[in-house]
Structure formats: C-alpha cells, structure tokens
Amino acid sequence: MKIRFLFVIFFGAMALVACRGNKPKPKKQTWSDAHSVDFNQEVNEREQLQIKLFLAHYTSLKMTQTESGLRYMIYQSSGKGPLAQSGQQATIRVRVERLNGAICYETPANETETLVIDKSEKESGIHEALKLMRVGDKAKLILPSYLAHGLLGDRLTIPPQAVLYFDLSLIDLK
C-alpha cells in the first residue's frame, strides 16, 4: 500500500515537472518610438471623434479650430483694446467641464484668478486662447487632452486623457 502511494506521488510529480518543462518564454516587448506615435494617434483620433460628436449635439457652438487643435468661440466681444500678449498678467474667470457636463472647476462667484500668459502652469490651451482675446471678451473653448491635463489628468477631478470644455472670461490685463 505504501509503495503504491509512493509510486503515485512520484509519477504524479514527474508528470507535473514534465508538463512545465519546455514552454518558450514570452518575449519581453520594449516600448519604442513607433509605439508612442501609434498610441498618440489613437488617443487623438478618439478625442477628435468625441469633440465632433459634442459639436454635432451643440449646434449653436460655431467654433474655430487653431493649428494646435484648440477650438474656440468668442461669444461676447468687447471689441476694445489690443489682443492679450505673452508675458502680460491676465485676470480671468473660468469654468471647466468635461464633455459629459461634469464640472471640474469653477472660479468662485465674485472672485478672479491671475496668471502670466505663457509663463504659468495653467493649461497650454488657456494661454493660446487668451492671446486671441481682448479685455472684456468671453469665450467657449474645447481643449483636447494634450492642450489640457494630458495623459494623467489632474489626479483630482479631471481624469486621464480628458477633453475639456471651458468658459473663459478675460477680466483685465496688466
């Protein structure tokens, strides 16, 4: 009986070892520049589709697209003064939403924010949009993720690769 038991255990163990033996190890893939390009193209195509669907739903938004991919519409124009320029201190009010309508951030009522154009950590799309505006202008913006918070989001209310919808008011320039 003991011999039979030992026999079963020995041959069972041999069968397990034999089955594991000669499997080829999977090749470890390395990330290449080509992978990065493909990934970024996929992200961009997906975001462009989201933006097109959003604009098809909100037909009152007659947006202009810049070379960078920023879409903007100045819906209230002061018509006065020069365009904002790099290096100027801008006083703004902003409301940031995701395309699904979820509010991410909003300047509190009766408050403003300040930034130096092209020299602050605000979204790069905001800096670009400000240089298309005059004091008193209000604009709607759509920022693809690469002009907003990119691959990571802000880790609070903006998820990774989020396309953002802004309402931006330029209050003052210095």
Per residue in 145-154, pLDDT (tens digit) is 999 987 787 8
CA distances from 116 to 6, 35, 159 (A): 80, 36, 26
How far apart CA 36 and CA 28 sit, in angstroms, is 17
The whole-angstrom separation of Cα 46 and Cα 145 is 11
What pLDDT, on the 0 to 100 scale, is given for residue 93?
A: 97
The neighbour count for residue 164, using CB atoms within 10 Å, is 23
CATH number, span 62-174: 3.10.50.40
Give yes or no for residue 1 having a pLDDT over 60. no
**Residue 132 to residue 84: CA distance in whole angstroms:** 7
Cβ pair 57, 142 in contact under 8 A: no
pLDDT in tens, 84-123: 999 999 999 999 999 999 999 999 989 999 999 999 988 9
Distance between CA atoms of 109 and 98, rounded to whole angstroms?
20
Q: What is the pLDDT of residues 10-69, one digit of tens each?
A: 555 555 555 555 666 677 777 777 777 788 788 889 999 999 999 999 999 999 999 999
Predicted pLDDT of residue 142: 97
**pLDDT score recorded for residue 4:** 59
Average pLDDT over residues 141-161: 87
